Amino acid sequence: MSQQFIQLVVSGLAVGSVYALVGLAFIMVNEATGVVNFATGQMVTIGCFLAVTTGLQMNLPLAPAYVLALAAMALFGVAFYAIVFRPLQDRPVVTVIIGTVMIGIVIQNAALITWGSVPFRPRSPFGRQVIDVFGAALSAHALFVIVVSFLMIGLLYLFIYRTAIGARMRAVAQDRDAARLMGISVDRMFVLTWIIAGLLTGAAGILVGPMWFADVNMGDPIALKAFAAIIIGGFSSVPGAIVGGVLVGLAEMLGAAYISSTYKDGLVFLVMILFLLVRPEGIFGERIGQRA
């Protein structure tokens, strides 16, 4: 295996695992509420900049800086639910979707006013350390991103499929009215869903900051690729988000290296369109009719 290939695969996995985290945030909200949250990219931006505030501007050690930023993102999720989703939840889905687009624009401009237009370079827990693996120079932070992302995804999987609260969340996702009749507090499950979305996007923002710098426009391209990832993996599937994210990340890197850097984004979106045409439920997703 060539050094180049190792480097590209690690870069692709790092990028792909971030797409997977963001894709999961899309899926969590969509499954629970039936809404695609088009402010997901801006939530990544806010997560990254909260870590800029705690880790760079307040100069806290990185561990507490990250915890504080994540806690703030959990609150952000609650605020998003209370201010945006709850008032709109009984409106047509299109209204809610447009609401998330609008709030995304508001968040982005609020970030611009708060943090300014000049990008920041957040610190990494590993500094600029590079690890030599079979002659390939691998960024320690990229490896950290992969490990943390998959750890978070694993914990989320356990939470959803191995805990009572997770079962309640799934019940709400399957049939909101039936869940309510079973005594489940649907509103609490919604709040929890938005908290998880805040944590996932916040973690994604914290992880990508040291790799890609923090700037107020960083969220949309990430969300767009994550969206492609969940189309490919399956819109309602946790494994689908992981596989889709990794596939998109690897396709970007390997496509640019071995096919054409000019058309690498085109390749990703071509694959997405092919899935929409041939297998719209994605690799792991279930057909809408099968969910009933």
The yes or no reply on residue 56 touching another protein (CB under 8 A) is no
Instruction: Tell the smallest beta-carbon distance from residue 85 to another protein (Å).
Output: 21
Instruction: Tell the smallest beta-carbon distance from residue 210 to another protein (Å).
Output: 10
Among 220, 267, 283, 286, binds another protein (CB under 8 A): 220
The yes or no reply on residue 262 touching another protein (CB under 8 A) is yes
Question: What's the burial of 11, exposed, middle or buried (CB within 10 Å: 0-12/13-18/19+)?
Answer: buried
> Which residues lie below 8 Å from residue 53, measured CB to CB, with a gap of 6+?
69, 115
Among 213, 267, 269, 283, binds another protein (CB under 8 A): 213
The yes or no reply on residue 114 touching another protein (CB under 8 A) is no
# residues contacting another protein (CB under 8 A): 39
Instruction: Tell the smallest beta-carbon distance from residue 234 to another protein (Å).
Output: 25
Instruction: Tell the smallest beta-carbon distance from residue 184 to another protein (Å).
Output: 31
**By CB under 8 A, what part of segment 224-253 binds another protein?**
252-253
Q: Using an 8 Å Cβ cutoff, are 100 and 89 in contact?
A: no
Q: Which stretch binds another protein (CB under 8 A): 23-31, 44-52, 90-98, 120-128?
A: 120-128
> Which residues lie below 8 Å from residue 268, measured CB to CB, with a gap of 6+?
225, 228, 248, 251, 252, 255
Q: Which stretch binds another protein (CB under 8 A): 104-112, 171-179, 187-195, 226-234?
A: 104-112
The yes or no reply on residue 6 touching another protein (CB under 8 A) is no
- How far is Cα 99 from Cα 93, in angstroms, rounded to an integer? 10
The yes or no reply on residue 195 touching another protein (CB under 8 A) is no
- How far is Cα 57 from Cα 81, in angstroms, rounded to an integer? 28
**By CB under 8 A, what part of segment 9-38 binds another protein?**
11, 15
The yes or no reply on residue 112 touching another protein (CB under 8 A) is yes
The yes or no reply on residue 192 touching another protein (CB under 8 A) is no
The yes or no reply on residue 257 touching another protein (CB under 8 A) is yes
Residues lying near another protein in the complex (CB under 8 A) are found at 4, 7-8, 11, 15, 108-109, 112, 116-121, 128, 130, 137, 139, 208, 211-213, 215-218, 220-222, 252-257, 261-262, 264-265
